[in-house]
Structure 1
C-alpha cells in the first residue's frame, strides 16, 4: 500500500482527455494544411505544365489578331478604317517611357514586384465575388497586367470564377517564362483601347494621327485611361470624359512616383489635338464598291492591310456638291468620274450615304434613253458611215413600231452629225435596222455593258437597263481612242510594309479603230456645242450625250473632257415621274458643276476633230430636233406590241405581245414572221406611232430655237 506521503506520479495526457472542439480544431488544422500543400503542389504542376505549352514570345507577337483594313485616298488621306485595328508592333525599347509609366500606374502599380497575380487583388476579387454575382454584375478587379495579357491572348471575355482561375494560372506561367519587359510589350501591343484599336500604335494613329513612338505625356495619359472603359472614355465618343479620365491617370502617375506633382499640374489633356474622324458620307459609296475586290486581288487574310485607292478627295467633294445642288427634290442622283486609265476619281451613289447605302452608281439598273445611241452610232460608223453622210428623217415603221420625233415633224435630208446632235429618233431607228440590232447589242457588250441588252427595234432608244458605271466606262473607252477602259479603285495594297498587290493598266484591248472613236467624238462634241447637251459646256472641248426616258423618269448625261469622263444619272428609286427631269437639264448642269472644278488644273486638250456646226443649228424652224421621244408600246419584256394589240382607249390591257426576242451575243432568236417583216420580205401592217405601254400618252411641246446653256432643250425623251 503506497504511502500517502509519496509524491504523485506525473502522467502524459491522453487523446481522450482533449475536449471535442479541441479535437475538431486540431484535425481541421491538419486537414487544411494538407489540402493547402496539395493545392500548392497542384498549382505548381499546373503552372509549370502550362509554362511548357506556352508559345514562344515571337509566336505570341505574330499570332493572328483579326484583320484591319485602312483605306487611303489618292493623296494618302485615310478614308476609313475597317475591322479590328492593329498598328505596327512597337518593341519595348521604342515604347515611350511615359506610356509604360502611365499604364503601370493605372492598371497595375505592383507590376514590377508580383509574380503574375497580385494577392491583394485576388483577396478583393473573392471578397466581392458573391456580392457581384447576387447583383447580376460582372466580376472584375484584381487582374494584373500579366493576367490581362493572358486573357487577351488565350481566353475569352466571359466573366466567371473558372475563367479567373485559368487566367491566374496562365499569368503565373507567363511570369515564369517571359520577362517583365516582354509581358509589358505584349500588353501594350495587344490590349484593346476602344474604337476598334488594339495596341498603342493603332490607338495613337486613330486618336492622334501619328505613331505611338511619338506619344507625349498627355497623349499617353489619354490612352492609358481608355483601358478601364474603352467605349465610355473614347475621345471620339466623349471628349470631356476622356480628358477627365486622363487627369486621373496623371494623378495616379504622380502618386506612384512615375512623374512629379509639378509635371502632373503642368500637363493639360485638353491641349491634345485629336485626329479628324475619317469621312463617313459619300466616300463610303466608293469604299463599299472597291473593298470587296480585295477578295480576288489578294490572298492575305490576317495581316493588317493598307489599301491605296484612286479617289481624289477634291473631286469627290465637287461631285457631292454637284449632285446635291442639282438633283431635283424627292429624286436621287449618282455620279462616276473616270480618269483616262480607268481610275475612279469620284463616286457618288446618292444624296446621303447615311440615309441610304444603296449605290446608284454601281448597283442601280435604269433605262439610259438616248445615251444608248452611243452604241447605235458606233456600230454605224464602224460599218462605214461617216459623220457627213446624208440620211433622211422620214416616217419609218419597223416590225410594227413607228418611232416619232417630239416635234411630230420630219425634216427630210440631213447628215449623221445633225441627227446625233439633236437626237433624231427616226434616224437612229433606220441606222439600227441597217446595221442590225444584234450588232448594236454586241457593240454595247464590247464596250462594257454587263446587263442584258434586248434586240428588238426600240432598243436603239435605250430601253435596256444599264448601270451608270458601265455607261461611263463605255464613253471613257471612246475618249481613249477606242482602247478599252476598265474602272478600278485600288492602286496597291501593302501588308506589314510589303507591297502585295500593284495595279497594272491594260491598254492592249482595242474595241474600235481610232478613226471610229474620233468620228464618234466628233458627233458628241457637236451634241454639247449646239445640241441637246449645251448645259454641259465648261469653256473647253467637251463631248457627251444626254439621255431621258419616257415620262421623265430618268435623266442622264455622260461626257468627257481633258482626259476625265463623267457620268451622271438622276431619278427616283421607285421609278416614278420626276417633273421636268431631262438629260439636258439637271444631269448636264451637275456634269458642268463637277467638271469645271475637276479639270481646272488640267491642261486643255483638243479633240482630233474640230466642232462642226450641224446643218440646222441656225434654222429656228428646225430647232425642234432637240426633243425626240422614245415612246413605244412594249410588253413586260420590252418587246414592241403590234398595233392591233395596243391598249385601247378604254384603258384595257394589252392582250398578246408580238413574238419575243432573246438577245444573246448578237444572235437573235426570232420567229420567221418577225424576220420577214424586218428584212422587208413582207410589208408590215400600217401602224400608228406608238408609245411604251407602261406610260400614258402625253403631249410633248414643240421645241423652239436653241436655248442658252441653262435652258437645255426640253421634252427630250431618249
Structure 2
C-alpha cells in the first residue's frame, strides 16, 4: 500500500513538474513571441505608400511617381456599393464583430478539413481587421505564432480605430493585381475609371481579387474570374445590398478590361514628366514616391502634342534630305515563319534604331523585290502584300539601296501605298514658354523618349550661334546706341595676345557698309555684330548677357558675341521672354503647385505677395494689383526695340519663311561653326518657342543646314498649330517711348535719345566731309562695295531733315 502511494506521489510530482515545465516553456515562448509585438496605436497615423500624381494645366493626368501604385481614397469618397462588395466577399459581419469573427473562424476550420482532404488551399477565416493587422504590422508567414499575433493586434486595432478607419485602410492598402495597390489604382488600371464610375459588375470583380489576383486574372483565367464575380453578386443579394434584378443584369455583363495597366493615357509628355521627376526629387527627396502628392504642372497637352509632332516630323524631314542609310536587317530568303526571324533581328538592334513608340503606325516589312514589293509582318494572311511609293523607291536607290530580304519600317499613306521610314540619326529639342509667367507649356527633349531618355532641352549644352545676337544688340541699346545709330558692316581683324589674327566673316562672305542696328540684326551680320560688341566693351556685354539669363557665364571674348558660349534650349528660350514682356527675366518652371494628401499647399511657383486688400470682400472698388512676375533686367523700351528688330527678321530677314503664318511674330535664327547646331527662337505676344537641331556627337549637320533650313520649319509647324483658331494680337508697345521713322521703319526711342530735326538755311549747301570726320572710329580700311569719301552724295537742302546719329 505504501509502495502504491509512493508511486502515485512520484507520478504526481512528475506530472506537476511537467505542467510547470510546459507552463514555463509557454511563458518563454509567449515572451519571445510577443516581445516585439507592435502597439496597435502605431497604426493610427499609418498611411500606406501612395503615388504622386502629375496633372497638366487642364487637369489631364500625365504621369505618376510611385514605389507602389496606389491612389488613396478617403472613406467618405468611397461609394457604398464598393465597400459592400468587399464586405460581402471578405467579411460580411465586419461592423458587428470586435476584430475576430469566432463564428466565421469556426466555419473556416470545418471547411479546411474538407479542403485538406481534397488537397485544396486552406482558408484563413481572417476578418478585414485581421487582414489589416497582417498587411500593415506583420509579415505574410504562415505560422501559428503569426496567427496569434494577428488575433491580438486585431483586438487592439478595434480599440484604436473606428470601423470606418479600418475599412478605409483595408480598401486602400490591399493588393489587387495588375500592379494595383488599393481600389483607386485598381479601378484605373483594370477599367480606366475612377471608383465612382464603376458598374456593379466591375465593382464585384474587384472584390473578387483579394483571394488571389492571379487566380482570377481577367484575361488568362476569365471564366474563373466571372464565376467568382457572380458569386459575390449573389452574396450581395443574400445580404440585401442589391436586388435580384440588379445582380442578374450585372452577371450578364462581359468582363472587359484594359490590355495592360497604364500610368496615364496621355503619353506625349514623357520628356516633360521625366524632368518634373528630377526637379521634384530636388524639392522633396524620395517622398515623391510614397507621399501621395498632387502636382499641378504647367503643361498644355494640346501644345505638347503639337510640339512632339512638329519636332519628329522636322527631324525626319532633315534626315530624308540626307539620304537612305539602308535596311536595319536582312533575312535572306523569305520563308514560312519569316516574321519570327525578323522579330529576332529587331530585338538585337540598338535601342536608338528601333521603331519609336511615338510612331504606332510604323510596321515591320520585308522587301520582296528591289522594285518596291513588300510583305508586312503583322498583317493577316492575304492582306500582307503591298508596294512602296515610287518616290520612296527612288529615294532608297539614291542612297544605300534596297534588295530582297531587307527588313524595313513602313507606314501606310492615304492612297494605300507604303512610305519607307527610317529612324533619324539627328536629334533636337523644342521648348515653349509663356513669356509673362514662365510656365513651360511644352517641352520635347528629343526625337523619341522610347529610344533615348536624354533630355536635350535641359541637359544638352550647345553653342547658340547667332541666336545670342539679340542680347548683344540689347546691351548696346541700353548704352549709348539707339535705333538710329549706324555701324559699319565691313572687314575687321583683331589680334590676340598670342599674335594670332581673327577676322569674323558674314555668312554670305559679302559686306554692306554702314548699316542701322535693325539691318544688322535682321540680316545677322557677323562683322557688324563683333564691331558693335567691341565698341560697347565685351566685359559689359558678357555681364549683361548673363544678367538677361541667356547663359550662365560668359568670358569677355569677342567670339562670344557670335554665340560660342554654351547654353541650353530651355534657358535660351526663357531668356527671349524679356523681349515680349517688357524686359523682365522670368523664371521658367514646370511645377505650378504641389499639395499633400490632405490638400495642403506645400509648394507654389508663384511667390508674389498680394498687397493689402486681398482678403477684403468685394466692395465695387478696384481690385488689388499684383506686380508682374520676374525681375526687371532690361529697359522696357529697349526690350521693345529688340522685339521690333526681331519682327523684321521674320518679315525681311533670315526667317522670312515664317511670315507665311500671317501673325505678329518675331524671332532669330542661329547657326554655329561648321553647321554643328541649328537654332530658331521665336515668339508671338503670348508664346515663346525655341527649337534646336543637332547631332548628339556634335558633328556637322551638313553644308547649308542653317537655323533657317533645319530649325525654322519645325518652329513654323508648331506655331501654326499653337495659334490656330486663336485671335490675332499685337505686341504691347511701351507708352513712354518716342516713335520716329528711320529709313522707313517706325522705331521706338527712349525719351531724350530720339534724333532731333535739323534746320538748315536754303542757301547753305553741304559738301563732302573730311574722311576723318565721317569715319570717327579711326578705321584704317575702306568698307567694300562703298563709295569713296569724294563720291559721297550731297545731302538734300530740306528743313526738318532727320539726322542719323554718329557713324560708328
Question: Could you state the TM-score of these two structures normalised by the residue count of structure 2?
Answer: 0.63
- Classify the secondary structure of the residue corresponding to 1:355: coil
Q: Quote the residue 2:100 is aligned against.
A: 115
Q: Quote the residue 1:587 is aligned against.
A: 711
Inter-partner Cα distance in structure 2 for 1:438 and 1:225: 72
Map residues 629-644 of structure 1 onto 2, 5 A cutoff.
Answer: none
Q: Quote the residue 2:640 is aligned against.
A: 518
Inter-partner Cα distance in structure 1 for 2:740 and 2:191: 54
Q: Quote the residue 1:622 is aligned against.
A: none
Q: Quote the residue 1:99 is aligned against.
A: 82
Displacement, 1:412? 2.0
CA separation of 1:521 and 1:243: change in aligned 2, threshold 3 A: farther
Displacement, 1:243? 8.3
CA separation of 1:568 and 1:160: change in aligned 2, threshold 3 A: farther
Of residues 489-498 and 72-81 in structure 1, the stretch that sits farther from structure 2 once superposed is 489-498
Question: Whose RCO is larger (CA < 8 A, sep 6+)?
Answer: 1
Q: Quote the residue 2:613 is aligned against.
A: none
Displacement, 1:594? 0.8
CA separation of 1:344 and 1:543: change in aligned 2, threshold 3 A: same
Displacement, 1:382? 1.5
Displacement, 1:508? 5.7
Q: Quote the residue 2:721 is aligned against.
A: 597
Q: Quote the residue 1:621 is aligned against.
A: none
Q: Quote the residue 1:358 is aligned against.
A: 454
CA separation of 1:100 and 1:521: change in aligned 2, threshold 3 A: closer
Inter-partner Cα distance in structure 1 for 2:18 and 2:196: 51
Q: Quote the residue 1:492 is aligned against.
A: 593
Report whether the alignment pairs 1:483 with 2:483.
Answer: no
Unaligned runs of 5+ in 2: 320-424, 496-500, 609-627, 734-738, 746-776, 782-808
Inter-partner Cα distance in structure 1 for 2:649 and 2:468: 14
Q: Quote the residue 1:417 is aligned against.
A: 518
Of residues 316-325 and 547-556 in structure 1, the stretch that sits farther from structure 2 once superposed is 547-556
Displacement, 1:101? 4.1
CA separation of 1:255 and 1:116: change in aligned 2, threshold 3 A: closer
Inter-partner Cα distance in structure 1 for 2:512 and 2:545: 29
Unaligned runs of 5+ in 1: 1-10, 133-137, 617-679, 685-718
Inter-partner Cα distance in structure 2 for 1:206 and 1:556: 41
Deviations 1:43-89 (A, max 9, x none): 9999999999320xxx6353243353111111111111222455455
CA separation of 1:484 and 1:500: change in aligned 2, threshold 3 A: same
Displacement, 1:375? 1.7
- Classify the secondary structure of the residue corresponding to 1:474: helix
Inter-partner Cα distance in structure 2 for 1:348 and 1:34: 76
Report whether the alignment pairs 1:65 with 2:48.
Answer: yes
Inter-partner Cα distance in structure 2 for 1:553 and 1:233: 57
Map residues 385-424 of structure 1 onto 2, 5 A cutoff.
Answer: 385-399=481-495, 400-424=501-525
Report whether the alignment pairs 1:344 with 2:324.
Answer: no
User: Residue 294 of structure 2: which of 302, 306, 320 is its match?
Assistant: 306
Displacement, 1:206? 5.5
Of residues 269-278 and 98-107 in structure 1, the stretch that sits farther from structure 2 once superposed is 269-278
Deviations 1:204-251 (A, max 9, x none): 4565566545644223223223334558868xxx65657852542322
User: Residue 90 of structure 1: which of 74, 78, 83 is its match?
Assistant: 74
Q: Quote the residue 2:664 is aligned against.
A: 541
Question: Could you state the TM-score of these two structures normalised by the residue count of structure 1?
Answer: 0.71
Displacement, 1:543? 0.6
Inter-partner Cα distance in structure 2 for 1:86 and 1:72: 16
Q: Quote the residue 2:154 is aligned against.
A: 171
User: Residue 254 of structure 1: which of 209, 221, 234 is its match?
Assistant: 234
Deviations 1:623-647 (A, max 9, x none): xxxxxxxxxxxxxxxxxxxxxxxxx
Inter-partner Cα distance in structure 2 for 1:493 and 1:568: 29
Displacement, 1:342? 1.0
Two-structure CA RMSD over aligned residues (Å): 4.6
Displacement, 1:499? 3.0
Of residues 595-604 and 203-212 in structure 1, the stretch that sits farther from structure 2 once superposed is 203-212
CA separation of 1:192 and 1:379: change in aligned 2, threshold 3 A: same
Contact map agreement 2:548 2:634 (CA 8 A) in 1: no
Q: Quote the residue 1:502 is aligned against.
A: 604
Inter-partner Cα distance in structure 2 for 1:436 and 1:531: 27
Inter-partner Cα distance in structure 1 for 2:593 and 2:600: 10
- Classify the secondary structure of the residue corresponding to 1:439: helix
Deviations 1:372-402 (A, max 9, x none): 1122111122122233422222110112210
CA separation of 1:124 and 1:387: change in aligned 2, threshold 3 A: farther
Q: Across the two proteins, how many residue pairs are aligned to each other? A: 592
- Classify the secondary structure of the residue corresponding to 1:76: coil
